[in-house]
Structure 1
Amino acid sequence: MIPFRFIHAADLHLDSKFAGMKGLSDIIRQHLRESTFIALRHLIEVAIVEQVDFIVISGDVYDAADSSLRAHLSLQAAFEELGSHGIHIYVIHGNHDPLDGPRLQIKDADHVHVFGPEVESYRARRRTDQREVAVVSGISYPTSKVTENTALKFRREDESTLFHIAILHANVDGDPVHETYSPCTRKELESSGYDYWALGHIHQRRVIQEYPHIVYAGNIQGRSVKETGPKGCYVVEVSEDASLQLTFHELDHVRYVREEMSIDGIHDIEEWRMRVEEKVDNIRILRPDQMSIVRWIITGRSSIHRTLESGHVARELEDELRRREIARAESGQFGGLVWSESISLHSGIEIDRSELMREDHFLGEMLRLAEKVDQHDELTKELLDKALAPLMSNRVIRGMLNETSEQERREWLERAGELGAMLLLDKASDGGRK
């Protein structure tokens, strides 16, 4: 097999909106909007520096509902620059940029290949000597909601020794966090005969399987606190013996992080404030060229939990931290911005759980039930379903609840347990436990 190198990228979502952000100043909001374009710029730089032969993009290049002239011009300029370096681009459309939507028209060019509503195949060549190295097949979404299994349309009919790549925007094995568009299974992809499945739609990168490789590249720029961690693309090197080496390259300019901070051993609110501020400085040092958007997760047990539970102290610190970052941005210091998205309490009061669980009273029974919930997923689901059932009749609330993850709902249950324990202990201290 002729060795070659390509990039697998997906879900660029150029110029798309950032979700769930509060308190932003206009200048920081504009900085956020720039991030998808900067990530695209980083993608081009990686392609040129790594001297790849071609790029595959697995759908959702932009959001049709928010497509802009700037996104169109930026994409066109990016493709032209890549073409000047002899790099070909193979693109499919996904559920956010379907063929029947208000699409950005990608200019026809010899080095840009946009797939239609049925599986098409192209022969990719090595950039340096134009030798054929791979067969690249793909299919675009004709509409925004494709519920059929389009993976079944891919079949390797070419018996040549060329490496076969399939580009698909799909939900493999029913990931519950994303819409079940183009649903398929790992076994179906494995049996198709392709060497590499370049997947899009799921924004968390992962290698589902090796040989054949079934890979989600994730998106190139996180857009909400649900999309934490580094975002980017894979550079895939195919050797003469058909072995693969995947190297992840970070492209994101704004990074979402969940930063845990324990209140164990902290018994003074001012000390807690100082600890949070120290963590802000550490994040700034760790990512001096990026903007970080942080959800603070407060864990542990301490007497200050009661004060934090009231909410006003946390809100005051959020506001102060945001004011400081706005001031930095207004002075032109965008590198190392640390925006506090929210402060989420997962902490509790200082109690001897083991002792209380042995006692025969309502609090002890509640703590014993909480322990069972932690150990049994089915019991957790049952309790959550019962608790949320009265709210599901409201269409708006039902829509919001359907967008939450199982992890978020578990956190609600844990928080309710801690709040219940605190209220029961307060009542017991007032009138004695019954």
Structure 2
Amino acid sequence: MKFIHAADIHLDSPLHGLSAYPDAPAAQLRNASREAFSQLVERAIDEGVAFLVIAGDLYDGDWRDHNTGIFFSKEMGRLQRAGIPVFLLFGNHDAESEMTRKLTLPDNVKTFSARKPEVHRLDGLKVALHGQSFRDKAVTDNLALGYPAPVPGYYNIGVLHTALEGSAAHANYAPCSRAELHARGYDYWALGHVHEFQHWAEASHIVFPGNLQGRQIRETGRRGAVLVTVEDGQTAVERLYLDVLRWESVEVDASACVSMGDVARLVGQQLHALLAVDAQVPRAVRVTLRGRTPAHGALFGKAHELRAEVLGQIAAIGNERLWLEKVKLATEPVAERADIGARRDAIADLQEILDEASSDPEFLQKLRTELQPFFAKVPADVKEEVPLLAMAREGDFGRLLQQVSPALLASLMDGEK
């Protein structure tokens, strides 16, 4: 017996972080969640699964476009014609959705009640599915404690949308512990809400399949669902990779680079290697440069030039498969401050001035007074992406000088060579 377990589909939820760029794949961004869901349905049919479980957040909040629901019904119709039932549990985002309340679903879609735990039985397969949907967006009760005892002689599946022991990255909805889930005595727990794949093969198999399609740079790597095979009393869990546009974060160690050209070529090599896995899946990539490098001075303050160099590398690889989300510079200069201080020239004098300035209360207050009004106008959403601006907005000019000084000195020293 085989079934597919999916969760956190967020159908028609927009992908964030690329739309501002002229080379962004607009159509793929707009349709990614639908295409991934269609691939899920196609895989269910190809595998001949007994049923599909969706463990919450099919929709994405108070989304009023009924075309989203109509698309879901069309895909469910494909499964109905293939004789595949679907067991749908509503999560916190579904509880907000107008379609959850109003749209009539095809007959092969069975939902779980939000009033109390409900059991769906597949007597021919001897499978029992236990679940309770969210009534409201913020369910903070431990729903798992109310789930019924397993049906004797059946393969028992618990379906639950939960943070599970307070996942730090997600709201603490329907909190519970793995020990509490094991105590129910079920064979498998089909969970949703946490967007990263996790699997505990203990007394019960407890599984988060992760979200079906990454929607932003914080959701990197392969995404999809899981295929569960039950044979001779044993449960096997296999990941299915179904995302149609993948977010990647590439960390590049620029320690051996001496110029921007060296950095660009190294980035190009790592981006090319990225496509060695699932080359058919387009990537939206964030590149972060790290390391103590002689190229630091050549890179500092050259964000536009650096981005253009990386885009050039992507163009050479083929930008129908790669799109650049952002380039972040987190390198450090090779020259130590002590090395600079040992010199008897203007650069050493400048270091002394910068050192004194970063701890001079009168100078820092003057900077605050004159510059704060300008930094205060910078949009708040820029703060996270530009740490130096964040320091300025917060009035931390002492730390700002300490951050900028090494790069400025390194850049001047590179200019002497």
TM-score, normalisation: structure 2: 0.77
Larger radius of gyration: 2
Question: Residue 268 of structure 2 contacts residue 310 of structure 2 at CA under 8 Å; is this kept in 1?
Answer: no
What are the superposed Cα offsets for residues 365-394 of structure 1, whole Å, 9 maximum, x if unpaired?
A: xxxxxxxxxxxxxxxxxxxxxxxxxxxxx9
1:140 to 126, 133, 148: 133
2:334 to 345, 350, 355: 350
Q: Distance in 1 between matches of 2:382 and 2:171?
A: 15
Q: Distance in 1 between matches of 2:96 and 2:62?
A: 13
Q: Deviation at 1:48?
A: 1.4
Q: Deviation at 1:427?
A: 12
1:124 to 99, 102, 122: 122
Match of 2:77 in 1: 80
Question: Residue 57 of structure 2 contacts residue 90 of structure 2 at CA under 8 Å; is this kept in 1?
Answer: yes
Which residue identity lines up with residue 136 of structure 2 in the other structure? Answer: T
Match of 1:305 in 2: 296
Q: Distance in 2 between matches of 1:92 and 1:137?
A: 10
What are the superposed Cα offsets for residues 126-176 of structure 1, whole Å, 9 maximum, x if unpaired?
A: xxxxx2321001111111111111111112153x21011111111001111
* Unaligned runs of at least 5 residues, structure 1: 126-130, 357-362, 364-393, 404-414, 430-434
Question: Residue 245 of structure 2 contacts residue 281 of structure 2 at CA under 8 Å; is this kept in 1?
Answer: yes
Distance 1:79 1:31, change over 3 A: same
Check if 1:296 corresponds to 2:324. no
Q: Deviation at 1:347?
A: 2.0
Distance 1:115 1:418, change over 3 A: farther
Structure 1 residues 34-183: aligned runs within 5 Å: 34-98=31-95, 101-103=98-100, 105=102, 107-117=104-114, 118-125=116-123, 131-156=124-149, 158=151, 160-183=152-175
Q: Deviation at 1:54?
A: 0.5
Q: Deviation at 1:279?
A: 3.5
1:275 to 266, 271, 277: 266
Could you say what secondary structure the match of 1:176 adopts?
Answer: coil
Question: Residue 13 of structure 2 contacts residue 60 of structure 2 at CA under 8 Å; is this kept in 1?
Answer: yes
What are the superposed Cα offsets for residues 292-343 of structure 1, whole Å, 9 maximum, x if unpaired?
A: 0111121222121123221343244366678x59xx78xxxx5xx2111111
What are the superposed Cα offsets for residues 180-226 of structure 1, whole Å, 9 maximum, x if unpaired?
A: 11111111111112221100000001113433111101111000111
Check if 1:8 corresponds to 2:1. no
Aligned residues, how many? 365
- % identical equivalent positions: 29
Check if 1:244 corresponds to 2:230. no
Question: Residue 300 of structure 2 contacts residue 411 of structure 2 at CA under 8 Å; is this kept in 1?
Answer: no
CA RMSD of aligned residues (A): 3.5
Q: Give the stretch that moved more between structures: 283-292 or 265-274.
A: 283-292
Match of 1:384 in 2: none
Q: Distance in 2 between matches of 1:156 and 1:286?
A: 43
Q: Deviation at 1:280?
A: 3.6
Q: Distance in 2 between matches of 1:354 and 1:7?
A: 61
Match of 1:211 in 2: 203
Q: Distance in 1 between matches of 2:252 and 2:66?
A: 43
Match of 1:261 in 2: 252
Question: Residue 73 of structure 2 contacts residue 105 of structure 2 at CA under 8 Å; is this kept in 1?
Answer: no
Q: Distance in 2 between matches of 1:24 and 1:399?
A: 16
Q: Distance in 2 between matches of 1:308 and 1:282?
A: 23
Distance 1:344 1:320, change over 3 A: same
Which residue identity lines up with residue 181 of structure 1 in the other structure? Answer: Y
Q: Distance in 1 between matches of 2:187 and 2:277?
A: 38
Distance 1:193 1:87, change over 3 A: same
Match of 1:231 in 2: 223
Q: Deviation at 1:264?
A: 1.9
Q: Distance in 2 between matches of 1:220 and 1:162?
A: 29
TM-score, normalisation: structure 1: 0.74
Distance 1:262 1:74, change over 3 A: same
Q: Deviation at 1:402?
A: 11
Which residue identity lines up with residue 137 of structure 1 in the other structure? Answer: H
Could you say what secondary structure the match of 1:38 adopts?
Answer: helix
Q: Give the stretch that moved more between structures: 197-206 or 146-155.
A: 146-155
